[in-house]
Structure 1
């Protein structure tokens, strides 16, 4: 006997209303939850949980439902209200958790806890942050603090090409006395750990001379926020990439764990191209991680019998894409293993990027910082980075060329599916890709035989101040990036950022 559908309560919240609308449109098409799940390549259980408001819908999910049910975009149009409610719920949870911790720990300061203010629209958001970091990442917004302490502000970081938008809670408490550290006048902040599902940071308003500077940290105990963590193009880029990727991968952690063994058999095939439909229930960033992980496995497997020094060609053009080399745990392991095998201190490996001027011009300041940091990580592992600006090379697939042996194609960046891989050993293919590799290196803007010269030339091409970039790297290297941000996902790490900063600080 068929089960009676559970009554929904669309008047309760935006989340409930979305679920009720989804059921209405589905039943209007006379579709079951299982049939809709088949069209979306997700389980019927997921459809049921969204309809019952037991799970938050993602933008990708809403768009897919609109397409399958021919709603004219009705579900996606309502999603901003759902996202607003989700942020408000997170902020309330964080405030409650802080109040409980404050009551238990008997803090040094006598304070009154308040629920964080949430700006309902960009027009209601008044930023009182110091100038500089906002222009480094357009779309980043900081809500104004309420009039009472502790100050709770929401730092909203915008959506990227694959990185989702994320919101951080910044909380700070003023001290009666100010202390001077390295030329900064700091404000003591009351530390707290991140509440469940919400990343919470300390914030301190510092002074660099007469200029106000906002600094943030994850310090879990009472103490001074390090001046190295002041919010600028350097740190806002790291926060944006790490926090956005962290949120996206945590959402799909269980699904990714299931998918990896299911897709592993593809690595045994000479070549494969997998449609995104096979992982349609995953968000864009998780699909990106899955393609990256598979390509690294595929290349490593086929480099086992290689004796010559290969040339690597990569498709990353933006900091968001390139930062995966620093943040994805498997990519750092892949970089290190290939470096140990194919390089010596006097004979580095070669990796060629094609980054046209149009890509540079469309990248915000913070994203260009991530791109240069990723190149520094590679140079630290004895991988010489060459950057070709010729847009005619932009469509070349990612590949690894082993001279006189084979070409390993491996593309996951801007691929039609999750990935496209192949292994070629025909003489014509070897000659064609050898010409591409030689032309890419010959036309590189990163001239010079020394790593510091290549990186400085790259910085000039990206429009980054080399002295400032070196100084900020040294400051982060001295304290470690963990005080700024720590990943919760097991798939991410801060090792790459730390290694890049330490290397830059060590350059002559």
Structure 2
């Protein structure tokens, strides 16, 4: 009879946290401890002991687990904290032995030992979880705001869940509300007993703020005089942004060198009239990096094919979920591509047209934070004078991304939910032009966003996505005043927050 797995306590220590994450990722693969051990060339007993926090995981072990389980480096990022904890444990053991020897010596000399009591924590409100965190999981399932293990010199852990391509990531949060003014300019990662950058984890400042609904938490990269803007409070709006940006950032940074090597090798396909490249050519990259490669190639392919276009094209985009659509907000090459095509093919009286198909099933299965990302992506496009049309007809759900120049060609370019990295082709047959013209016209004709003005289209989309328009506008107004960079900024050269800031400014200005 199989034994029930021992219940783990991830908040006990960094070592326990590592073990719990290792077990979860192993079980997500459907592997036993023995099966993982075979792949790592270690015993099942070692896997079991690491998961139960009975053995210290080494950096080499963490790296091997990351590679085998394709975690995007999640476990390796925990090893510096484990090393700190291990050092603290050794130091504590030495200190305890010295204290015992001193106590024995004092007893022998007739002097009773003195006992010092630690002062109460000045950060009790943040550590205790009195802030409203229960609603976070309803806006983005899997998000957790928890107390850290005792050995961690931070106040909270914000865990952001894994997506279809986004890796799970953990942010450490340090309370700066009680810091003296002399520490106002200190980066949050330097407040504790270690530098967050050394651990590979991103550290943010966190404070508790009052709201109409009760206490909430707000985060920031560099608080001014210990203050964090209320605009950065954690809710569906900011959690979606943190989830997309931090996940992309971690994944792309992990593969930065490999991506730099892959890009020139894959660009030779741009010389071909069409291509469909399988994922095997980039098997060493994580899913998000593969997604970036496909997106980058498709943008370049379309731009090259449109060089001789004389009529205004119609764009059909395949994104249906916030995770996919957030690439328009964050991938630097997509932001540049949108700006370039908008500048070339739009006029104040004749905006370009971009069509989405977002069936009701996609809306119903998307959490609130993802739906916010969808709306922001559309708002960014509208800010560039691109009219966004959204069809709910599921008949169009499998249509590949394409660009139609009605009198010249249809450019197929798709990487979203594709079997390979991408599929691109260019067709100029009259039958192909008519077929895709019918699709483009049909998608626009029955669009739930059918309206002559941008604010009407976006308000119609918000209603379809079940988003509160007043709340959206208010949050965009708040964030457009301070900018996203005060809350979070990308480290990867391949990402930018320009799209998010532009979307917030645009929605804030709408009347």
The structure with the larger Rg is 2
Q: Whole-Å Cα distance in 2 between the matches of residues 324 and 457 of structure 1?
A: 22
SS of match in other structure, 2:324: helix
Q: What residue number does 1:225 align with?
A: 228
Shift of residue 365, structure 1, vs aligned partner: 0.2
Cα gap change, 1:486 to 1:51, in 2 (>3 Å): closer
Shift of 1:132: 3.1
CA change 1:362–1:292 in 2 (3 A) is: same
Q: Aligned partners of 1:470, 1:95: CA distance in 2, in Å?
A: 48
The C-alpha deviation readout for 1:360-389, integer Å capped at 9, x for no partner, is 000000000000000000000010000000
Is the Cα–Cα contact under 8 Å of residues 191 and 221 in structure 1 kept in the other structure? no
Match of 1:439 among 435, 438, 442: 442
Conserved in 2, the CA contact under 8 Å of 1:313 and 1:437? Answer: yes
What corresponds to 1:383 in structure 2? Answer: 386
Paired position in structure 2 for 1:24: 41
- Give the 3 Å change call, closer, same or farther, for CA 85–251 of structure 1 in structure 2: closer
Aligned-residue offset at 1:111: 9.0
Name the CA shift for 1:90/1:449 in 2 (closer, same or farther; >3 Å).
Answer: farther
Deviation of 1:176 after TM superposition, in Å, equals 9.2
1:331 maps to which residue?
334
> Is 2:78 aligned against 1:87?
yes
In structure 2, distance between residues paired with 1:422 and 1:175:
59
Larger deviation, residues 388-397 vs 188-197: 188-197
What is the deviation of 1:404?
A: 1.0
1:285-335 superposed Cα distances (whole Å, 9 cap, x missing partner) = 000000000000000000000010000000000000001001000000000
Residue 142 of structure 1 is matched in structure 2 by: 145
Task: Compare 208-217 and 414-423 and name the one that shifted more.
Answer: 208-217
The superposition leaves residues 237-296 of structure 1 with CA deviations (integer Å, 9 ceiling, x where unpaired) of 000000000000000000000010001111111100000000000000000000000000
- Do residues 427 (structure 1) and 417 (structure 2) align? no
Determine the structure 1 residue equivalent to 2:493. Answer: 490
Contact 2:176–2:188 (8 Å) recurs in 1: no
Task: Quickly say closer, same or farther: Cα 1:316–1:93, change in 2 above 3 A.
Answer: farther
- State whether residues 66 and 75 of structure 2, in contact with CA within 8 Å, keep that contact through their aligned partners in structure 1: no
Alignment of 1:10-409 (within 5 A): 21-22=38-39, 24=41, 52-53=60-61, 55-58=63-66, 61-62=68-69, 86-87=77-78, 89-90=80-81, 129-144=132-147, 152-175=155-178, 191-193=187-189, 194-196=196-198, 197-209=200-212, 211-219=214-222, 222-409=225-412
Structure 1, unpaired ranges of 5+: 1-12, 27-49, 64-78, 97-109, 120-124, 179-187
- What is the CA deviation profile of residues 442-476 of structure 1, one whole-angstrom value per residue up to 9, with x for unaligned ones? 01000211000000000000000001001100100
Aligned length: 425
Q: CA deviation at 1:128?
A: 5.2
Inter-partner Cα distance in structure 2 for 1:354 and 1:208: 37
CA contact (8 A) 2:62 2:75 kept: no
Change (3 A) 1:442 1:284: same
Q: Aligned pair in 2 of structure 1 residues 146, 307: CA closer, same or farther (>3 Å)?
A: same
Distance 1:504 1:487 in 2: 23
Please list the CA deviations of residues 339-362 of structure 1 after superposition, one character each: whole Å capped at 9, or x if unmatched. 000001110000000000000000
Map Cα deviations across residues 209-234 of structure 1 (whole Å, 9 max, x no partner).
46111101111664201000000000
Per the alignment, in what secondary structure is the counterpart of residue 215 of structure 1?
strand
Structure 2 regions of 5+ residues with no counterpart? 1-17, 23-33, 44-57, 88-117, 190-195
Q: Deviations over 1:17-56 (max 9, x none)?
A: 9997435389xxxxxxxxxxxxxxxxxxxxxxx9954835
Match for residue 484 of structure 2 among 475, 478, 481: 481
Two-structure CA RMSD over aligned residues (Å): 3.5
SS in 1 for 2:197: coil
Instruction: Confirm whether residue 472 of structure 1 aligns to residue 475 of structure 2.
Output: yes
Which residue of 2 is the match for residue 411 of structure 1? 414
Separation in 1, partners of 2:480, 2:331: 20
TM-score, length-scaled by structure 2? 0.76
| Contact kept in structure 1, 2:133 and 2:145, CA below 8 Å | no
